[in-house]
Structures are given as C-alpha cells and as structure tokens.
Amino acid sequence: MRFLFLITLTFLITHSSYADESKFPTCTSIFTDKQSTSTPEPLIVKAKKLTNSEGVAKLGSDGRLRLYKLESYEELRHSHYGSDHYEKFICEIQNVIDIRATVTKFIILTRDRRVIVWKPYLDDEPEIVPNLNNVIAIESNAGAFSALRSDGSVFISNDKDNIYTKHTSTTLNKLKGGVIKIFATDYAFCALKDDGTVVSWGNPQNGGDSSKVSDKLFDVETIYKNKAAFVALRKDGTAVSWGDKDYGGGYQVKNVKKIYVDEYAFIALTQDNQIVVIGDKTWARDLLNQVKRDLDN
C-alpha cells in the first residue's frame, strides 16, 4: 500500500489573504526577545515552498519565511463543500536557512542554529524548541523530526515508544556523537556516522530497524531513501537495503556504480551496466525508463 503522506514541494498559484507582501509582520513571540549577538555566517538559502495538511511555508532565498494557515472556503462562507483553500497569513520569520514538514507541523532552522516548530492547527505562533542549540541540519518524517548538532549528536523530537521515533537506549548512545548526516523515510530515520556505520530509529517496517543488516553496514559512503526503505552504498560498491520489502528493503547488490531512486523504488546500475531493481518492479517502471534513457545517451 502506498502511503498517503504527501508533503509537496511546489510553486502552485494560490489565493493569499495578505496581499501587500511588503508589510509582513514578524512572529512576535520569536523576535521580540533575545537574539544571537554572534557574528552571523553567510546566508545561503535555497528558496522553496512546503505544504502539509494544515499550512504553507514559503522560504525565500533572502532567508525570509512566510507562514500561512490553510483555511477552506467552505468553513468561511458556509455555502459549499469543496477542496479549495486560501492561505491565511500568520507571520514572517527572518534569517531562516532550512525548513521541513510533518503532516501537521513545520520545523524551521534559523541562522543562529535554533529550531522553531509551528503547529498551524493550534492557531499559535511558532515556538522555539527549548534547550536545542547549535543545530546544523534538520530532517523530518510524517510525524516527527530529528536535529543534528554541530558536535555530531542527534536530537529526537518524540519519545522512544512513538511509532515515528521508536528507539532504545542503545540507539541514543550511538547518536551521542559522530553523526554526519540524517535521512528520513515517511515513518523512520537513519543516521550516517563518520566511521561509516549507520544508526536507525522509527517504525521498524519502514526503515527504523537495520539490525538484520547491521553486520553489512560498514564503510558506508552515502545513503539513499524513498518513502519506506533505505539503501546504503559502501566504499566497495555494495548496496545494502532495509525497510519495507515492496519499497526495496532486504536487498544486497555488488559492484554498484550508481543508485537511482524515486518515492517507491530503487535501481542499482552495476559497473558492467546491469540494471538491478531494488523493490517492486511494478512500482519501478518510471525509474526503469529513466535508467534506460541514461544508458541510451
């Protein structure tokens, strides 16, 4: 079954309830109190727009993030039922360098390395996550987020029994340092460490448990992910996957020179140009066509 979790990175034209964009007020709960006094690093931001079931976050290349709550016309007019929504402006946050989204929340990383969470459904302004500082990267799945600190440690937003962040004390110990990057499927996370090992947490069926392949997860150079599985590519060209089998979990392919990925499958291209589908071949049709085009060219 394909997951219904949809977070769109899109630039669709929508209705806005705040026409004059030169007069966006800032989120007062964040910007009326303490601000970092350290010399800021250069602001390099990739503009993007995220939409979830509750709101819209529009990040500009200038680091200005504008937040909107989705309101349905049916709720406002009580005149018809439909899927049309308009964007009710909430506030603007400045000096933002990255954003992520769960189904109902937005996670925001600021220039001074703090993390802000906005929950549109509560009608509240965004709030700074207390005691979470020196964050260099954030990642999210459908229901939780994780943050990578500058010292290589990882912050997990939900508790050990939550399906999105299910973990043990052993997992936490492994995440106390040495992490260089975090990855996420729809219901799980994994972290690549500087010694080439991997740590996983979250829903076991969707990549949150890599224990069955832990002895094969060494000398890992990079990790790929789709909606429900991960693939680790080792220095020796071996690809090892875990997670939902339909999405590509439980495979091992040797002599890999390139991994192709989309939401539902992986394809490994070997050194002798053999094409190996990692996952359900039915779901890999579009990806197969892409690989064949690349080989033809």
Give one word for 156, left, alpha or beta, with left for phi > 0 and alpha for psi -120 to 50. beta
Q: What is the pLDDT of residues 124-137, one digit of tens each?
A: 789 999 999 999 99
Q: What is the pLDDT of residues 77-132, one digit of tens each?
A: 443 434 456 788 999 999 999 999 999 999 999 999 999 999 998 867 899 999 99
Instruction: Give the pLDDT band (50/70/90) at residue 154.
Output: very high
Q: What is the pLDDT of residues 21-77, one digit of tens each?
A: 445 567 765 653 344 445 555 677 899 999 998 999 999 999 999 999 988 655 544
Instruction: Give the pLDDT band (50/70/90) at residue 266.
Output: very high
The conformation of residue 22, written as its DSSP 8-state character, comes to: G
Q: Give the span between the Cα atoms of 213 and 243, in whole angstroms.
A: 10
Q: What is the pTM of this model?
A: 0.85
> Side by side, which strands form the sheet with 8-9?
8-9, 48-51, 55-59, 65-72, 85-93, 15-16
DSSP codes of every residue in 126-170: -EEPTT--SEEEEEE-SS-EEEEETTS-EEESS-TTSTTT---HH
Q: What is the pLDDT of residues 186-200, one digit of tens each?
A: 999 999 999 999 999
Residue in the block written with tokens 């994994």: 190
Question: Bigger pLDDT: 70 or 12?
Answer: 70
Q: Give the span between the Cα atoms of 259 and 224, in whole angstroms.
A: 8
Question: Bigger pLDDT: 60 or 16?
Answer: 60
